Amino acid sequence: MPNWLTRLAGGRRDAPVERKSSGGGTVFSLTQLGEANWTRRGFSSLVNEGFAKNPVVYRCVRMVAEAANSVPLVVEENGRRVSDHPVLQLLRRPNPRQSGSELLEAVYSYLQTAGNAYLEAAIVEGEVKGLFALRPDRMKVVAGRDGWASAYAYTVGSKTRQLSQEPAPIPKVLHMALFHPLDDHYGMAPLEAAQQSLDIHNASALWNKALLDNAARPSGALVYSMGAGNLTPDQFDRLKDELEEQFAGAANAGRPMVLEGGLDWKTIALSPRDMDFIEARHGAARDIALAFGVPPMLLGLPGDNTYSNMVEANRALWRQTVMPLVRRVADDLSYWLAPAFGGVSVVADFDGVEALAEDRAALWERVGGAGFLSDEEKRGMLGV
């Protein structure tokens, strides 16, 4: 268990402790702080520290995924929308355990947290009968001779399945990935870009909790002022053990300290103002929201006046984040499923989105006032 000295040193057991003599007293001081500890760049680590423990990350992922999932996907055949088609039935009920909304929500959420999302096609007698979302951390690209993915290996426990990318009638796996400039196969998630801000935000929460556990009092130093000598090693170790056992933790909060002759307690006061602590926490939260493309105003974060009102901020979320995400997922589904269903297209239908109603009305007004267009041309521009 780390003692009170190592906790002051950022949790590092090897942080050196120095005993200095000055005048008639001896002061125990720390010569350096430990290096910053960053969360490992792995899917499990980032999800555990981010989505599972950080409210800003959780809300950003949920907000983007739920907004994107509210956009209906429609099917077009030969440029005309159809109301009854096998692809529509597949998207509405992709498998016995999930609805279409659950499946797409998983896709959008995996793209935000892992940068990758995988769908497996259940193919029976040459026909696509179901779709299943696969966990990104269990998937591995099997590269072919040309360097591109020839198959995917999906591992659960000790069992690994090989999923071929040979079209029969379509590849078994649809791999959707956000752009990564340094990786040929895997995408980069907003959560990964927000890693440092995430760690700062989580560390500030741990700091607050630690202060509460210790009666909201900062740590300090013991000053030994009996002559000019130092404590013996045994005396020094005994003091550390007593402080750890009798005065640390919530159960000992407010407990009076009885010091022997020559010992004095000096508080090391680092106020939130000195550390700019509160603003650093808010700044980290805004950076997290920025990485996910969510206006901080929608999260209730102070200090953000980019948009004049919530309506404008919500419109920015849809224009800059949700619509591009939904369009690329719809395009990927079209490219993947088209060979098995006669070349149909999966298209996102934004007409019914309430947040975009004002934009849609302005478009109708502009097209309606264009007298040089025929009625047929106007309908084509509006997609009706």
Q: Domain limits of the chain?
A: 45-142+174-213+271-350, 356-383
Query: Do residues 152 and 141 touch, judged by C-beta distance below 8 A?
Result: yes
What letter represents residue 136's amino acid?
A: P
Closest listed residue to residue 115, CA positions, set 57, 193, 201: 193
Strands 116-124, 345-348: parallel, antiparallel or unpaired by DSSP? Answer: unpaired
Mean pLDDT of the chain: 81
Query: Which residue's entry shows tokens 């940068």?
Result: 115
Radius of gyration of the chain (CA): 29
Euclidean distance between CA atoms 171 and 163, whole angstroms:
9
Query: Do residues 157 and 166 touch, judged by C-beta distance below 8 A?
Result: no
Q: Which position has the higher pLDDT, 31 or 265?
A: 265
Predicted confidence band at 301 (pLDDT cuts at 50, 70, 90)? confident
Query: Which residue's entry shows tokens 């407990």?
Result: 255
- DSSP states along 276-295: THHHHHHHHHHHHHHHHT--
Q: Taking the alpha carbons of 45, 46, 47, 52 in that order, is the dihedral positive or negative?
A: positive
Q: How many CA atoms lie within 13 A of 275 on its CB side?
A: 10
127-185 tens-digit pLDDT: 999 999 999 999 999 999 998 999 999 999 999 999 999 998 999 999 999 999 999 99
Comparing 147-151, 194-198, 247-251, 274-278, which segment has the lowest mean pLDDT?
A: 247-251
32-90 tens-digit pLDDT: 444 555 555 788 889 999 999 999 999 999 999 999 999 999 999 888 889 889 999 99
The residues, any chain, with a CB within 8 Å of residue 340's CB and separated by 6 or more, are: 127, 128, 169, 170
Euclidean distance between CA atoms 201 and 171, whole angstroms:
42
- DSSP states along 93-126: S-BTTB-HHHHHHHHHHHHHHTSEEEEEEEEETT
Helix residue ranges per DSSP H, the chain: 4-8, 43-49, 55-69, 86-92, 100-113, 190-193, 195-213, 233-246, 272-275, 277-292, 310-317, 323-337, 357-368, 375-382
Euclidean distance between CA atoms 305 and 308, whole angstroms:
7
Query: Which residue's entry shows tokens 């994107």?
Result: 68
Q: Taking the alpha carbons of 176, 180, 181, 185 in that order, is the dihedral positive or negative?
A: negative
pTM recorded for the entire structure? 0.76
314-343 tens-digit pLDDT: 889 999 999 999 999 999 999 999 999 988
Supply 190's token pair.
């907003």
Phi, psi angle pair for 38, to nearest 5°: -105, 150
Going edge to edge, which strands form the sheet with 345-348?
80-82, 73-77, 345-348
Predicted confidence band at 268 (pLDDT cuts at 50, 70, 90)? low
The helix/strand/coil state of 146 is: coil
What letter represents residue 101's amino acid?
A: S
Euclidean distance between CA atoms 39 and 356, whole angstroms:
38
CB atoms within 10 A of CB 50: 27
Q: Taking the alpha carbons of 101, 107, 108, 114 in that order, is the dihedral positive or negative?
A: positive
How big is the CA angle at 83 (ends 326 and 132), to the nearest 5 degrees?
50
* pLDDT above 80: residue 308: no
What letter represents residue 153's amino acid?
A: A
Strands 173-177, 116-124: parallel, antiparallel or unpaired by DSSP? Answer: antiparallel
